[in-house]
Amino acid sequence: MIEGAGGRRWAGMTAAGAAILGVVLLAGGVAPPPRAWPPHTVVEYVLPRPGAFPHDPAVGADGIVWYTDQANSFIGRLDPASGRITDFATPTPKSGPHGIIVGPNGGVWYTGNAAGLIGRLDPASGEIREYRLPPAAGDPHTLIFREGILWFTAQQSNLVGRLDPASGDVKIFPVKTPRALPYGLANAPGGIWVVLFGTSELAHVVPASGEIHEIPLPAADARPRRLAVDGQGRIWYADFGRSKLGMLDPRSKTFREFPTPDDGSRPYGMAIGPDGRIWYDESSKGRIVAFDPATEKSELLEIPTGGAIVRNMAVDDRRGRIWLALSGTARLGRIDVDAKRSAVH
């Protein structure tokens, strides 16, 4: 066992995992002078399909926005320049599309969370090809690309998997802790990081082998849900259970925590904005927070239509935009972070 800050003992960490991270919980220092940020707003796009439930968004190099309509089993397409929205039915009805990403070659990939499959939509033709996963990976969740390989989490199946698009070969890697509920995942310089929503842990995945190292967070009652990696390789995570914003610096092997503007805010979807700030959703408050790591100050943005929960975000760095799936309101949201770049279509 390894003992961490605050006397918490970490059981079950391998020697390799301990080498990845030895924890120190840092106290806050003296903040630099505050930067002045212009006020931002959330622009909404109403989705035309009745009962639409956008779960995740993705954005391509061309600025086209894609989203999963989980309730209706459609993949949607929004052209921000014209406002035109079209959608494509998934070949398997009621597949429950969940996560979505635009791949290196422009293909749109999504997880069929309710049907144990991963789909690829060809933007040119609208045709969708489905890849069936092994029965053990019956609920694919969130997905990312790394070096041409598609990686995904399967929450209830308690595993991380990989799909080779060229061969269709699938490999799965179980998480050691039962009911760990692997959820969001993200690329980082040293590998892939995953939040284990059913525990108070993050996980580090070695891409070459699929080996998973579980990393306890400083607080035993933490419940991380989504994460994002900044330009310095720091891992930012939304602690849904404790309403905190957390940060792990793998280089210095240190954690920091920051309070959200309101207790009980339940931070959820998050992303690193084009401005370097940490943007996240306060899911119980109906608003977005932009946290500046340099000053530790936050800007608050109200979501115009009440009842929205942002489960995930997508960043368009070229145009200086952040895209939101406004679940519960049948809308997408857009934040123009960089007004100059957001004029590019």
CA distance 251 to 273: 22
pLDDT at 330: 98
Cα separation, 260 vs 296, in Å, equals 11
Q: How many CB atoms lie within 10 A of CB 27?
A: 5
Q: What is the pLDDT of residue 342?
A: 59
pLDDT < 70: residue spans in the chain: 1-38, 339-345
Per-residue pLDDT of 68-120, as tens digits, reads 999 999 999 999 999 999 999 999 999 999 999 999 999 999 999 999 999 99
Cα separation, 120 vs 44, whole angstroms: 27
Number of H helices, E strands in the chain: 1, 30
Q: What is the pLDDT of residue 175?
A: 98
72-93 residues labelled b (16+ CB within 10 A) or e (exposed): bbbbbbbebeeeebebbebebe
Residue 124 CB contacts under 8 Å (≥ 6 apart), including other chains: none
Question: In this predicted structure, what is the pLDDT of residue 343?
Answer: 53
Query: CB-hemisphere CA count at 13 Å for 52?
Result: 27
Q: Which tens digits make up the pLDDT trace of 141-188?
A: 999 999 999 999 999 999 999 999 999 999 999 999 999 999 999 999
Which tokens belong to 329? 């309101």
pTM: 0.89
Starting from the edge strand earliest in sequence, which strands make up the sheet with 108-112, in order?
97-102, 108-112, 117-121, 128-132
Q: What is the distance between the alpha carbons of residues 258 and 123, in angstroms, rounded to a whole number? A: 40
